[in-house]
A and B are shown apart, each in its own frame.
Chain A
């Protein structure tokens, strides 16, 4: 699995959008970008994933650059409950047997009242 680079920490004012960057310059053509988050004392929670098109769901949006070497997770209207560690992971598609997620140290997002 390709490595990812994320800032160690970020702050965001409550109600504002949070933009969390991730670099994955060694990503290969069949690897997806996954985002998970981990709230204190809980297991990681899936947020969103994508291959090359931008994706949106009820939690977030994922913007992937055209060359796929970086991406940004956007939380549109943050609340205090969004305070967590956010992990960006690149992973081969399940069909190829690449079933594991390799976590880095993630970005600790703190939403400030």
Chain B
């Protein structure tokens, strides 16, 4: 597709369960980002990939959160032992490489995956 695609759009789970959220970035974009947005707040940075590697994971709140991007395209955000406080919209974005000389740095966001932990 032309834009960033995220699935599922909505996920309801029970406390303690494991969840995976998928992001399909724009073709050719080497940089991929995950953000989390709680109600009434701005998006909060979680992790950034350049290619297959996590260049910055300083925003991951704890070791229950993990993300992978094994082939440098699709990424999966994984949340173990979910808690009610994990309920939020999880946003994925992609951009052209952040390396020298490339692009404006504009991030293209998907519509998010809304996670509700009961």
A103 near B107 with CB under 8 A, answer no
Question: Cβ of A43 and Cβ of B91 under 8 Å apart?
Answer: yes
In terms of DSSP, what is the predominant structure of the interface of chain B? loop
Contact partners of B95 in chain A: CB under 8 A: 99
Give Cα A73 to B98, complex, Å: 25
Q: Pick from B12-20, B41-49, B77-85 the stretch touching chain A.
A: B41-49
| Chain A interface mostly | loop
Known A-B contacts A100-B33, A105-B42; the reply to A43 vs B93 at CB < 8 A is yes
Complex formed: what's the CA distance from A36 to B43 in Å? 11
Contact across chains for B110 and A95 when beta carbons are under 8 A apart: no
Judge whether B2 is part of the interface by a CB distance below 8 angstroms: no
What's the minimum C-beta distance from A86 to chain B, rounded to whole angstroms? Answer: 11
Number of B interface residues in the complex (CB < 8 A): 34
CA distance A95 to B101 in the complex (A): 7
Interface residues of B in 51-102 (CB under 8 A from A): 55-56, 59, 91, 93, 95, 97-102
Question: 6 shortest A-B CB distances, which residue pairs?
Answer: A43-B109, A103-B42, A94-B98, A99-B98, A95-B100, A94-B105
- Given contacts A43-B111, A99-B95, A104-B42, list 6 more A-B pairs with CB under 8 A: A34-B105, A43-B93, A91-B105, A94-B100, A95-B100, A97-B98
Chain A positions within 8 Å of B, measured between CB atoms, are: 32, 34, 36, 41-46, 49, 85, 87, 91, 93-95, 97, 99-106
